[in-house]
Structure 1
Amino acid sequence: MSTARMSASVHDFLLSLPDDHPLQITLRTYSLALSLSLGPALLSFISSPKARSRGFIRGLTSIVRRELGVTAFSFAITAAVGGGSALQALWRTLDAHQADHVKLRKEGHEGQGRLRALLSRLSSLSPAQKAFISNALSSFVAIMLMQARRRSHQTRKADIPWTVPITPPSSSVMGRTSATLDLTLLLVVRAFDAMAQKVVFHRTGDETDEARKQRQRITTKLDAFAFWASSARIMWCFFYAPDRLPRSYLKWINSLANIDDDLPRALRGIRTGELSYVTGAAPQPNPAAILSQRLGHPASWGNFGLVPAYGGSAALAAWKTLGVTSRGPVGGIPCEIVHGSLGTASCSKNAGLRGIHAFFEALALYLPVHFLPILLTRPHTLLAYPTILKTLLGVVRSASFLSTFVSSIWASVCLTRTVFLARFFPGISHDFYDGPFGCIMAGCLACGSSIWIENGRRRGEMALYVLPRAIRACLPEQWLRSGGRSVYGLERLAFTFSLASLLTAAVHQPETLRGLSRWTLSFIVNGPNAALWKGRHRRTPPKAPGQNGTGMPGREPNGLQKDAEQDNVQLLQ
């Protein structure tokens, strides 16, 4: 048989299978997982001169071999999803076999044994319970595979802010966190959200329109609160505990905020007491003095022994001696240093320029995010002016959210240490105003409120995106880096339970999923006719009403199908 004929036969065989066949699910899972892990790795390698300097072919081969390995993310996650589906199919076969034996026993042809009794009890479980057990077994195998991975070198993934850190450098040695921790937290948050949608909001597929609207109003408020709280924690860690955040995430935040590296160092010095306006203490080298010189100002402007610690008339005299004309009766280092490379003494101008810079950075980020779903689902609508206008307005709205997020931090900092509080309360030292509970805390608490600018559906996705990072930043660092059995044991349990819950919900309670969870799992479990590929040509015969492609009773599309079409279009808008 020729290669072309064999390929055509395999193609026809695959098309003859129902979309929810284990083999179809396995192929879709592996293709999607491989694109998420191999794509960013190749992009990072190609764009990194340092990585290419070691040999292009050698580096490329190493990356491909690594991502195609048994312990790689793509294979492990396929083992979880495809393995769970295969176990469920095997369980259905055993149930059918058991039913035949029960029929024979009733006719007096066979007795009841212990194994048969056990199989009978297992057969009495509900389909959702059987699915969860199957998915839990395969998910546990997946986490064990990923945690068994050992690498001494890894080409770093591309620093794309919406990319999940799927295969970070793995190690279980002392002093390093688990390689799969970020992925586990992401799954935990998504699984908890699905449970909350079911238990707290009683979300069902046949809920009324009024109940759906009421649930969405409550959900969007909780999403906004979750985003606000998570953003406050993440930004606080950005200034004071950057090692608690992923490196690519830190780099992205810094590119948007455009902050000089010496400024966070000075802030951390004030927090630890190494830098103090009151005592004049300063390490050598002094990051504030270095920053002042690099910006073209005298080093004395960053000298904590010369800069006034308090406001009032004493501050006016000190600034006159130092030659600072923009500070007035306020202590603390001049805003020219805090504002950094923008080179302006005006607080309002600084916040505005920061916002404009972040706006254009966000435009480059959100243009593909908003237009890609339309290109995949209904590209012909881009020829219509209303569609283009609506999408562009969505891009501007999202960019405005991110711009406001950045500018509100700077505005809050200056309002606290220069414009408002420091002027009205000059007796409080700038060790407080420039400390962790002063201007930085004000900025961290203010920035998350910008989420209300975003589209309601995107608020939820943004909250689910930042929440795992906020949880990671709250976990005890010493415990995470201990490498103890309790760390890995709890993570394995959390990973297994969360992924099994999500995979089970995708089939038996899909209405509890939303956003990227619904999109991804709908495509994996239901096939290319679901999610963004809905309406694609099929060669398989239509399913009978009430069947899910496996001969088992299934859910009708009901409210899920109605919500899914809206989610697919508005998910990232």
Structure 2
Amino acid sequence: MTMSMTASPTSPRSRSLGQGLPLVLRPVLRAYFLGYASSTAPRVLTLLLLHLSRRRKNIIDEKPEDCFLPSLLRILRGGVELQRFPTFCAALVGGSTLLEAHTTAEIVRTSRYVSFKNSTVKVGYLLHISQYIITKSNILRLARWLSTFIAAWYSLRLLQSKKSEAFIDHVSYATPNGVALRPIQFAGRTMDLTLFAITRAVDVLVGELWAQRRARRVASGRWTKFEELASTLSDSSIFASSCALIMWAWIYTPDRLPRSYNKWIKSAAAVDQRLLLALRRMRFGEIKYGLETGQAHVLQGMCKDYNLPLDYGDPVKSIPYPCEVVHMGVGKSCEKHALSRWGNSFLWAFSTYLPLNLILTLRNPSKKRFKQTLESSARSSAFLGTFIALYYYGICLARTRIGPRILGTSTPRCQQIDGGICIGSGCVLCGWSVLIETAGRRKELGLFVAPRALATLFPRRYLLENQCRETIAFAFSTAVVFTCVGERPERVRGLFGKLLRGVLV
């Protein structure tokens, strides 16, 4: 959505911005323009929607600094600060291209002739003698990789140098004059960016190795249907496994997800927070079936609100909790609850996707594009509705349909099911709703959620002394991706690959 509101880096308008600059400097301008647009446009749009909402509700700002125009100017000025994302993009792309251009020029200049024992010998002969162990193309490839590695290192360090209060703790310690506070700075502000780079580098390397393997086996006639199925389902598998990690973290460790992402999942799931609290306490042993732990009030409040017997929320009297509590007033049937979830989620998503897609269609309206917009919005809404329905139905399958038949109905088994197995079942099922989407969308969605899934496996804050490891991982991964854009641009998949080719090529 952000990119649709700005000029594409491959469009004539964006390219014309750098026509007056030397060829080697044009990627810098395109990178800065793209970084500025992607970092400021979402914030401007959010501010605009909030302002319109407040105007509709006749809410008048009491403080001048909360007015629309000053806030807009703060956002626009903030984007041009040195330690922000646009400068990072320009430093990364500009540094890699300029270093590569300089290194390439040196290689071309010195590769024409080499002085050897007072005689001038063409390098080509030396390469031929060494049987092309060191070829000019490999040297250029190494130069590109090293140039990007250096640029990525220093550009990420630029972002990391900006201090944030969210990554500073104050620890008290005793002094001769009393107790004082000592600030301790943590790292991790750029973790999401690093994981994105790692995901893309792994996708490039694994994709290239798999393509080579496929070519060899097809040529030898040994390519099997199982391997073809694995290729077809690879993006869906990435999405499903990533969503399983994300949804598990959303239930039990929500602090491992970005705040905005956590908030969006909460809006889409439309779940009573008391139910989430009960599931977490069941997982960590604060609520135990058959044992009075003083936690009955957590779900009994829900039961009262949804006109259910209060005993349904008592872990001593209800072993396990009836699924009606999970259904939140829809009824006893798990299937009816799943269908209800699907319908509500579809309408919620359709009311969001359709207006946004229609805005894009207005740029070049036609009957065919309008029909495609409706189909695309309906497909994406069905995907999200199925995702949510499968998640909740997976929980019910483990709690009442399949779990008790396999594990039994004893109190310890009920504790085990509600302590994690039911959530795991929903997490495993929900991501396969991506099969509703087209192959292109499955690819984009898989690459979108994979870094967020990896983030659930790492702390969002860590000791500053270990920041060098993250910087090395980012620089190495970025160098792999940029080198691949130069050598095999089609290997960097999806919209990101198109954007990167538009900036670099």
| Fold agreement, TM-score > 0.5 | yes
Are residues 1:525 and 2:493 paired? no
Are residues 1:42 and 2:47 paired? no
Counterparts in 2 of 1:534-549, with a 5 A limit?
none
TM-fit CA distance, 1:391: 4.8
Aligned to 1:288: 299
Aligned to 2:287: 275
TM-fit CA distance, 1:177: 5.5
TM-fit CA distance, 1:26: 0.8
Aligned to 1:359: 346
Which one of 333, 339, 342 corresponds to residue 346 of structure 1?
333
**Contact 2:484–2:492 at 8 Å: present in 1 too?**
yes
TM-fit CA distance, 1:58: 4.8
The residue type equivalent to 1:396 in the other structure is A
Are residues 1:406 and 2:388 paired? yes
Change (3 A) 1:216 1:361: farther
The residue type equivalent to 1:430 in the other structure is C
**Contact 2:242–2:453 at 8 Å: present in 1 too?**
yes
Which one of 174, 186, 196 corresponds to residue 186 of structure 1?
196
Change (3 A) 1:390 1:414: same
**Contact 1:197–1:203 at 8 Å: present in 2 too?**
no
Counterparts in 2 of 1:102-121, with a 5 A limit?
102=114
Are residues 1:417 and 2:399 paired? yes
The residue type equivalent to 2:347 in the other structure is F
Are residues 1:303 and 2:314 paired? yes
The residue type equivalent to 2:446 in the other structure is A
**Contact 2:104–2:143 at 8 Å: present in 1 too?**
no
**Contact 1:412–1:443 at 8 Å: present in 2 too?**
yes
Counterpart Cα distance in 2 of 1:105 and 1:361: 77
Residue 293 of structure 2 aligns to a residue in which SS? Answer: coil
TM-score (norm 2): 0.78
TM-fit CA distance, 1:388: 4.4
Q: Deviations over 1:127-146 (max 9, x none)?
A: 22111111111111111000
Counterparts in 2 of 1:26-425, with a 5 A limit?
26-47=28-49, 54-56=65-67, 58-98=70-110, 102=114, 126-152=139-165, 178-202=188-212, 218-283=230-295, 286-305=297-316, 307-309=317-319, 332-340=320-328, 342-367=329-354, 379=364, 383-385=366-368, 388-422=370-404, 425=408
**Contact 2:185–2:464 at 8 Å: present in 1 too?**
no
Which one of 420, 425, 432 corresponds to residue 436 of structure 1?
420
Counterpart Cα distance in 2 of 1:496 and 1:34: 22
Counterpart Cα distance in 1 of 2:341 and 2:185: 37
Q: Deviations over 1:462-485 (max 9, x none)?
A: 11111111111123x3xx533142
**80-89 vs 289-298, which deviates more?**
289-298
Counterpart Cα distance in 1 of 2:18 and 2:414: 69
Counterpart Cα distance in 2 of 1:295 and 1:15: 65
Counterpart Cα distance in 1 of 2:359 and 2:259: 27
Which one of 452, 455, 472 corresponds to residue 455 of structure 2?
472
Counterpart Cα distance in 2 of 1:462 and 1:12: 32
**Contact 1:171–1:179 at 8 Å: present in 2 too?**
no
Change (3 A) 1:403 1:524: same
- In the alignment, structure 2 segments of 5+ residues that lack a partner are 1-14, 55-60, 121-133, 170-182
Change (3 A) 1:481 1:96: closer
The residue type equivalent to 2:325 in the other structure is I
Change (3 A) 1:269 1:248: same
Residue 434 of structure 1 aligns to a residue in which SS? Answer: helix
Aligned to 1:569: none
TM-fit CA distance, 1:277: 1.6
**Contact 1:405–1:450 at 8 Å: present in 2 too?**
yes
The residue type equivalent to 1:31 in the other structure is F
Change (3 A) 1:175 1:337: farther
**Contact 2:91–2:155 at 8 Å: present in 1 too?**
yes
Q: Deviations over 1:380-427 (max 9, x none)?
A: xx5254x54455334322322221111011112223323454478333
Which one of 514, 539, 547 corresponds to residue 493 of structure 2?
514
Are residues 1:494 and 2:466 paired? no
Change (3 A) 1:372 1:521: farther
Counterpart Cα distance in 1 of 2:462 and 2:420: 27
Residue 348 of structure 1 aligns to a residue in which SS? Answer: helix
**Contact 1:276–1:282 at 8 Å: present in 2 too?**
no
Alignment RMSD = 3.7
The residue type equivalent to 2:162 in the other structure is R
**244-253 vs 139-148, which deviates more?**
244-253
Q: Percent identity?
A: 29
TM-fit CA distance, 1:363: 2.4
Counterpart Cα distance in 1 of 2:202 and 2:452: 15
The residue type equivalent to 1:38 in the other structure is T
Counterpart Cα distance in 2 of 1:102 and 1:52: 75
Aligned to 2:173: none
Counterpart Cα distance in 2 of 1:12 and 1:417: 60
- When the two structures are aligned, how many residues end up with a matched partner? 450
**Contact 1:416–1:422 at 8 Å: present in 2 too?**
yes
TM-fit CA distance, 1:100: 7.1
Counterpart Cα distance in 2 of 1:39 and 1:432: 46
**Contact 1:204–1:512 at 8 Å: present in 2 too?**
no
- In the alignment, structure 1 segments of 5+ residues that lack a partner are 1-10, 109-120, 153-168, 310-331, 527-573
Residue 474 of structure 1 aligns to a residue in which SS? Answer: coil
The residue type equivalent to 2:321 in the other structure is I
**Contact 1:149–1:171 at 8 Å: present in 2 too?**
no
**38-47 vs 406-415, which deviates more?**
38-47
TM-score (norm 1): 0.69
Please identify which structure carries the higher strand content.
Answer: 2
Counterpart Cα distance in 2 of 1:181 and 1:461: 21
Change (3 A) 1:15 1:213: farther
**Contact 1:175–1:481 at 8 Å: present in 2 too?**
no
Counterpart Cα distance in 1 of 2:350 and 2:224: 31
Q: Deviations over 1:507-565 (max 9, x none)?
A: 22112111122111121123xxxxxxxxxxxxxxxxxxxxxxxxxxxxxxxxxxxxxxx
Residue 463 of structure 2 aligns to a residue in which SS? Answer: coil
TM-fit CA distance, 1:92: 3.1
Residue 456 of structure 2 aligns to a residue in which SS? Answer: helix
Change (3 A) 1:225 1:43: same
